[in-house]
Structure 1
Amino acid sequence: MIKNFTGVIIFLCLSTLCFGQRNAAFEPVFKTSEKTTHQIPEGQKYTFGYLEVPENRNDPGSQTIQIPVYIFKSRNANPKTDPVIYTVGGPGSTTMPSAQYMNYYTYLDDRDFILVEQRGNFYAKPHLDCPEWSMALHKIKLPDFDSEQSDALLAEAAKSCRARLTHKGIDLNGYNTNEIAADINDLVNVLGIQEYNLLTISYSTKIAQVLLRDYPERIRSVVMDSPLPLEANYDQESVENLLESVDKLLSDCASDVACNRAYPNIKSRFYVYLTNKTKSPLEVNIENPSNGKIETFKLTGADLITVFTSASTGTVVNVPFEINKLLNGDLTSVKEQLSSLFEEPGNGAGVGMRLSVWCAEENPFNSQATIASEKTKYPEVEGLSPAVFDDEICKIWGVQKVSERENDAVKSNVPVLLISGEYDNETPAKWAASMMANLSNSYHLIFRGWKHTPTTNWGNPCAMQAANVFFNNPKSKPSPECFGQLKNPVFKTE
């Protein structure tokens, strides 16, 4: 059975799992599938299937893997011929759940919208899950766990997960940004797409940068929402970026008459509070729902800073209010967060893929001396590790370091729109600003009072609208009416 898509023959995948085949001269193919990952909105036209590619292009004998792809047809009767290709962040996050919400994506008003799962993630075949890691994290967070055993428990989890995945024949060196970029380029070629646009968020903006560097020929424009520059050493800066974002928000509160009146000197008071709790932890009693036993958590500044990190764009205006509750001894919100720690651990979805990417691309470029100093540099959150994965974990995972150029800035004259949230501590706006020197046709929009990944803010689709305006006219900075209407955040004061 065959179907015709933009002049390209697509064969129906007859096998339920093509992972495991080997072919030294393998040519990527796209095979349609009647069985989808999610239920698609009624009336939405689409094609679903799997891109089959080598697991490791550096290995002539590499087995093949399957990457799920949705091709959603535009709502426009005469759509533009350059589709948008979209993949989400992480690394380790799945793109496929977005398929359920096509009614909300503005991009379909003008052109086709293609969702690509990154290799190793939940709906890809294989899926690099690590339930062992999730179980270890779950144990570590419980109050009766001996914290001195944390490193050993995580090390054992990494060893166990690695052994299980490699026993399945999975080549962990095949899961990195270069391979993902090559997957997308293969998809473009297989589908016969002559020109396309990229929509990327957070980690996947690294994929966009590699595509701009290595496969720029067919890229018409790129949106990088919350960009992570190749040249940035994430781990070395993460604690500093966190505190800078908190400082920015609390300074804005101090500059706002109503917020400052409700919470005078809140920034200095909060920092003193965090420092004191780091020296003398806050004890919080919670009933364990599984056995009715009262458990005592001991929280330091590194724990209590979650009053900011757990907030979303929609709730960030509540942060001064929540801090004030803490300062006044009201622990209701803290107890709600702690109660969730008794829930069953997750399945470790995508953790193996995240480990492979991070240990090949980020960890090797870290200064371990800087990492160590960051843990003690800030008295408010002393002990908070800036590293996503400790160096010892990456040694256990054992993937090969990528080339030095993967830590170098990418230069391009392809039109790029950089989108940042003002209070984003994960990928701060300063990173996007620094990229503009090497992206000669780039523009930067900073969304006031917003946090990470503005284009996914369903409460206000302004960033999505800005991205779509840019796709329709990438030669100028987008200026949608909604962006001009954004105002300073109105903080909750009662």
Structure 2
Amino acid sequence: MRSVIVLGIIPVLCLLAVNVQSGPEGQFFATTATEAVDKIVLDSDGGASKNTAFQPKFKVSKKTTHKIPPGQQFTFGYLEVLENRSRPKGRTIEIPVYIFQSRSTDPKPDPIIYTVGGPGASTMPSAPYMNYYQYLDERDFILIEQRGNYYAKPHLDCPEWSKAVYTSNLPDFDPGESDSLFERAAKACRQQLTAAGIDLNQYNTNAIAADINDLVEVLDIEQYNLLTISYSTKIAQVLMRDYPRRIRSVVMDSPLPLAVNYDEESVGNLLRSVGALLYDCASDPACEAAFPDLKERFYRYLREKTRHPLEVSVPHPQSGKLETFRLQGKDLITVFSSASTGTVNEVPYEINKLLNGDLRSLQEQLSALFEPAGSGAGMGMRLSVWCAEEYPFNDYGRIKAETNRFPEVASLSPAVFDASICDIWGVEKVPDQENQAIRSDIPVLLINGEYDNETPPQWAAAMQENLSNSYHLIFKGWMHTPTTNWGNPCAMEVANAFFNTPTEMPDNPCFEAIGNPKFKLE
């Protein structure tokens, strides 16, 4: 059983940590993207009309999810929609939305709508950092939470799952108990959510896309642009297929194609990305001189530790007692998979340390496993999406083969959730079209990091066959979600240029200036 664990490949598409904050009153303003808010008539009881079919509403709220720094004008509120659109008198849910006003005195009329990855990640923590978003120089910028996530009402949290992850990562845990541990967690979480009246079948990519379309309709936005990352690029594809009329352009950062079966490929993608990095090190005279034959030595080390696990002792942060972990290749590969674009240049150095018996970085990583279990924020949403949209299309023969294909990480399953977990979760399979490529002539910019093992560049390249007005940029030496690289905002600059002129490939000097990583040598 492998789930959302710290050691081994981490199958999380931008599942971000979330902190609860409350903030000041939302500031009301009128711009090209938001002037319609003034005209929205809200039911006094917040419910559906007694005489007509339910209509989505945007309700301005004085209480925000986060404290927004002074000087940034915005409207905050909740989009109220049906949980199940086939039941017009059924339960409604509320989805938080920020509408940030452009810094321009003459903003362009087509705002950008942004939602992050996951599934199960919250978009709202981006709100306090709008000063860093270049998109506001020309346009309004709208943040929308995905239904079921942390700040939405309801929120599909799953603390039982987080406790299971914590328990499974402790050094004295018996791996033979893993299946039953996570099965109990899934049962408990499902029972808790369904007892609260939540229909788990309504928390999926199609429903999120419909929510965004409802927001566009409610605000009467004539044209808009989409900025999506990782998992949320699936939302963009559904919007392009089902609600294309008002979409002007789309940026997909680290695309996850509808037609890809993620669970069948994730281990191979990981090894290919590691190989690309180590090839670049070998091609760099200084890196090769400092760490000769690094790929061969590292892969041999992983195979050896898979047969004879590495024992690493770490003092427990509370008791001070030494705890001993036994690590195989599938665990030690995190020297790469836990890196970011900002630290990937250190990976050859860290591998060399490991090969020479320097375990300090590894011990620091293992110490984090003793931190208390989290709230399971958005985990129920993640389970609902994955078990409806990915699990039903999996070829378990391929998954089994992938699990044993690479001796360096033998027994590392590529599946995010075992079949038993999705059987317990019990959501309905989505229609077959949700596993098929879309065709569109909407202008699209596809962005990848060269070393991205979660959504590799070859996936985006394959999408171009069906996207007639698409462009593809691969950021050399970068990893997952380049537009979120705050150390170098070049990908954001490129995306912003595309929104300004979506009929041509962005021509940005910053992209041309990016070369191979400057590897850390000592």
TM-score norm. by structure 2 comes to 0.92
1:442 aligns with one of 470, 475, 479: 470
| Per-residue deviation, 1:369 | 1.4
1:60-75 equivalences under 5 Å are 60-75=88-103
Q: In structure 1, what is the equivalent of residue 8 of structure 2?
A: none
1:329 aligns with 2:357: yes
SS of the residue corresponding to residue 437 of structure 1 reads helix
> Which shows bigger deviation, 285-294 or 459-468?
285-294
1:417 aligns with 2:445: yes
Amino acid in the other structure paired with 1:191: L
Q: In structure 2, what is the equivalent of residue 222 of structure 1?
A: 250
Tell me how far apart the structure 2 counterparts of residues 330 and 267 of structure 1 sit (CA, whole Å): 18
SS of the residue corresponding to residue 387 of structure 1 reads coil
1:476-487 equivalences under 5 Å are 476-487=504-515
**Residues 393-427 of structure 1: per-residue CA shift (max 9 Å, x gap):** 00000000000000000100000000000000000
1:364-443 equivalences under 5 Å are 364-443=392-471
Pick closer, same or farther for the CA change 1:261–1:423 going to 2, 3 Å: same
1:76 aligns with 2:99: no
**Residues 119-143 of structure 1: per-residue CA shift (max 9 Å, x gap):** 0000000000001000000000000
Percentage identity across aligned positions? 67
2:68 aligns with one of 40, 53, 70: 40
Pick closer, same or farther for the CA change 1:78–1:153 going to 2, 3 Å: same
Pick closer, same or farther for the CA change 1:432–1:22 going to 2, 3 Å: farther
2:345 aligns with one of 282, 301, 317: 317
Tell me how far apart the structure 2 counterparts of residues 41 and 216 of structure 1 sit (CA, whole Å): 35
CA contact (8 A) 2:278 2:348 kept: yes
Q: In structure 2, what is the equivalent of residue 209 of structure 1?
A: 237
CA contact (8 A) 2:312 2:326 kept: yes
Q: In structure 2, what is the equivalent of residue 117 of structure 1?
A: 145
Gaps of 5+ in 2: 1-27
Q: In structure 2, what is the equivalent of residue 339 of structure 1?
A: 367
Tell me how far apart the structure 2 counterparts of residues 461 and 23 of structure 1 sit (CA, whole Å): 51
Q: In structure 2, what is the equivalent of residue 176 of structure 1?
A: 204
| Per-residue deviation, 1:481 | 1.4
**Residues 164-187 of structure 1: per-residue CA shift (max 9 Å, x gap):** 000000000010000000000000
Q: In structure 1, what is the equivalent of residue 215 of structure 2?
A: 187
**Residues 458-479 of structure 1: per-residue CA shift (max 9 Å, x gap):** 0000000000000000000001
1:455 aligns with 2:488: no
**Residues 282-301 of structure 1: per-residue CA shift (max 9 Å, x gap):** 00011112222211100000
> Which shows bigger deviation, 245-254 or 19-28?
19-28
CA contact (8 A) 2:54 2:89 kept: no
Q: In structure 1, what is the equivalent of residue 5 of structure 2?
A: none
**Residues 409-459 of structure 1: per-residue CA shift (max 9 Å, x gap):** 010000000000000000000001000000000000100100000000000
| Per-residue deviation, 1:200 | 0.2
> Which shows bigger deviation, 290-299 or 18-27?
18-27
Q: In structure 2, what is the equivalent of residue 31 of structure 1?
A: 59
| Per-residue deviation, 1:10 | 3.1
CA contact (8 A) 1:19 1:66 kept: no
CA contact (8 A) 2:29 2:35 kept: no
Gaps of 5+ in 1: none
| Per-residue deviation, 1:372 | 1.5
Pick closer, same or farther for the CA change 1:190–1:68 going to 2, 3 Å: same
Tell me how far apart the structure 2 counterparts of residues 492 and 172 of structure 1 sit (CA, whole Å): 47
TM-score norm. by structure 1 comes to 0.97
Tell me how far apart the structure 2 counterparts of residues 22 and 301 of structure 1 sit (CA, whole Å): 61
1:237 aligns with 2:227: no
2:305 aligns with one of 269, 277, 281: 277
Tell me how far apart the structure 1 counterparts of residues 352 and 180 of structure 2 sit (CA, whole Å): 37
Pick closer, same or farther for the CA change 1:217–1:202 going to 2, 3 Å: same
1:468 aligns with one of 487, 490, 496: 496
Pick closer, same or farther for the CA change 1:403–1:372 going to 2, 3 Å: same
**Residues 186-221 of structure 1: per-residue CA shift (max 9 Å, x gap):** 000000100000000000000000000000000000
Tell me how far apart the structure 2 counterparts of residues 398 and 20 of structure 1 sit (CA, whole Å): 29
SS of the residue corresponding to residue 58 of structure 2 reads strand
Tell me how far apart the structure 1 counterparts of residues 417 and 469 of structure 2 sit (CA, whole Å): 35
Pick closer, same or farther for the CA change 1:337–1:23 going to 2, 3 Å: farther
Corresponding pairs, count: 491
**Residues 247-281 of structure 1: per-residue CA shift (max 9 Å, x gap):** 00001100000000011110011111001101110
1:10 aligns with 2:40: yes
Amino acid in the other structure paired with 1:224: M
Q: In structure 1, what is the equivalent of residue 162 of structure 2?
A: 134
Pick closer, same or farther for the CA change 1:272–1:171 going to 2, 3 Å: same
| Per-residue deviation, 1:159 | 0.2
2:296 aligns with one of 239, 261, 268: 268
Q: In structure 1, what is the equivalent of residue 7 of structure 2?
A: none
Tell me how far apart the structure 2 counterparts of residues 228 and 273 of structure 1 sit (CA, whole Å): 32
SS of the residue corresponding to residue 111 of structure 1 reads coil
Q: In structure 2, what is the equivalent of residue 352 of structure 1?
A: 380
CA contact (8 A) 2:48 2:54 kept: no
